[in-house]
Chains A and B, each alone.
Chain A
């Protein structure tokens, strides 16, 4: 599991460069290397989105940004805030099953929830406030993901977004 994680986060570095760049050719290159069955129109569509989001992003440059650590703390308090409240689980299931449940739960529930949140709000960061990330092909950075297929499926979403304006 750990090995998979490291491997895929290394793989992330390359697409990220493309994602942060406003250069269309870089983007197209990174897209086509990653997406086998993705045609040029898709790549161009991705580029269009990338540029428009960059221009919107400039409106927010004066905004004070928070760091990843601060976000982690804030979300920590949103989701948990300490072990308070877990007690009834021990009461309901006894030590062994509660420990198993507490160990498994992050993987079967919280991790998918986090991944979905990360993917989707990177894709549609206007969710609550504005538009930011030029997220092009940095999904699938985590675990068990066939990134080629996944990238392809998301390219279709970009095209769709483009059609929507």
Chain B
């Protein structure tokens, strides 16, 4: 990242670029894996994944290659595909909100933790680890903060597109627009799902929104939400892959990587950067979802920390005006 380089020198710039890229690509590999498991669970529950690992891998690989090809065709194609997926996947939530509003009982919003919840039985939260699972006022802080953090993260990815945007105003609108959309996409369904259904605290786990939608509007909406979860993963794959390849392209243009990775295809996409990303994804696909996510989180945390330190360092170095602005 350019700013990190400015603050701490080239070595750190390269390190952060590398970590950010590793995090992005590993994260990317998790989307096809999740997508397949959604489809698997919803439509072929009788098959088990262990039956034919090879077929499983082939399907994942084909999905990844097809998605990578869309990315190769250019950012505007990715953008159009993403817009389409955005509407398909957000409409069921909009319907849930609209149908659910009359059923909302605001008293349910004020429910405090029951204190009898076994928090560490989810996939992502199944280990206590060495860090104490602090519970204050009934809130299990570690999974709480962890979940919030991960869900409200990722806006720094916009920096990778700073070169392909029409204008500075469009760039600003894009960043803040995505912030508003993301905030609404979390808050509104949560408000409706907690206010209009009787889902207990203990029952809130992955897939709970499909249960809530079934409660509110019927089975058809629940199914739609499962499908939209699936295709939303595909769009996440697109955006992640484009930002990763742009990052490699940027590093190549600054001479940190062989210039090969900066070469553009006739669709104006960095061909070899995409291919390298795809190669790593193909290597990671056989691994379980949790492992991929952990690898991604680890490098992401390191990279983001250095990015923020660089921001602070730049401001402090230029006169200690940090507190004035933020």
Main secondary structure of the interface of A (DSSP, over half): helix
Q: Are B161 and A71 in contact (CB under 8 A)?
A: yes
Docked pose: A64 CA to B268 CA in angstroms: 7
Considering the chains assembled together, what is the distance between the CA atoms of A127 and B144 in angstroms? 33
Q: Is A26 among interface residues, defined by CB-CB distance under 8 A?
A: no
**Do residues A89 and B144 form an inter-chain contact, with CB atoms below 8 A?**
yes
Within A107-153, the residues touching B (CB, 8 Å) are 109-118, 120-133, 135, 138, 140-142, 145-146, 149-150, 152-153
B12 interface residue, CB < 8 Å from A?
no
Cα A133 to Cα B161 in complex, Å, equals: 12
- Contacting A at CB under 8 A, from B144-169, are 144, 147-166, 168-169
Query: Which residue in B82, B162, B315 is a CB contact (below 8 Å) of A74?
Result: B82
Task: List B residues 228-286 near A (Cβ within 8 Å).
Answer: 228-229, 232-233, 235-236, 238-240, 242-243, 246-247, 249-251, 253-254, 268
Q: Cα distance A63–B266 when bound, in Å?
A: 10
Which residue of A has the minimal Cβ distance to B144? Answer: A92
Digitize B204-242: 1 where CB-to-A-CB distance is under 8 Å, 0 elsewhere: 111111000000000000000000110011011011101
**Interface size of A as a range:** 35 or more
Mark each residue of chain A from 67 to 107: 1 if its CB lies under 8 Å from any CB of chain B, else 0: 11111111111111111111111111111111101110110
Q: What separation, in Å, do the CA atoms of A161 and B5 have in the docked complex? A: 12
Are B326 and A115 closer than 8 Å at their CB atoms?
A: yes
Quote the shortest CB–CB distance from A55 to chain B (angstroms).
15
Q: How far is the CA of A102 from the CA of B240 in the complex (A)?
A: 24
List residues 1-36 of chain A with CB under 8 A from any CB of chain B.
16, 19
B78 at the A interface (CB under 8 A): yes
Contacts of B90 in A (CB 8 A): 82
Q: Are B175 and A105 in contact (CB under 8 A)?
A: no
Q: Is B48 an interface residue (CB 8 A)?
A: no
By a CB distance below 8 angstroms, the chain B residues around A124 are: 2-3, 6
Chain B residues within an 8 Å CB radius of A82: 89-90, 93, 185, 228-229, 232
Report yes or no: B209 in contact with A117, Cβ–Cβ below 8 A: no
Is B170 on the interface with A (CB-CB < 8 A)?
yes
Q: Are B139 and A129 in contact (CB under 8 A)?
A: no
CB-based closest 4 A-B pairs: A128-B250, A71-B174, A129-B163, A79-B154
Given A78-B155, A88-B125, 17 additional A-B pairs, CB 8 A:
A68-B177, A70-B76, A71-B174, A73-B79, A75-B158, A76-B182, A77-B238, A78-B154, A79-B153, A81-B232, A88-B204, A102-B148, A105-B152, A127-B163, A128-B249, A130-B163, A141-B172
Question: Could you write out 18 A-B pairs with CB less than 8 Å apart?
Answer: A66-B165, A76-B178, A78-B239, A79-B157, A80-B151, A80-B186, A83-B93, A86-B148, A106-B182, A110-B155, A110-B183, A117-B158, A118-B171, A129-B163, A130-B253, A132-B163, A133-B162, A135-B168
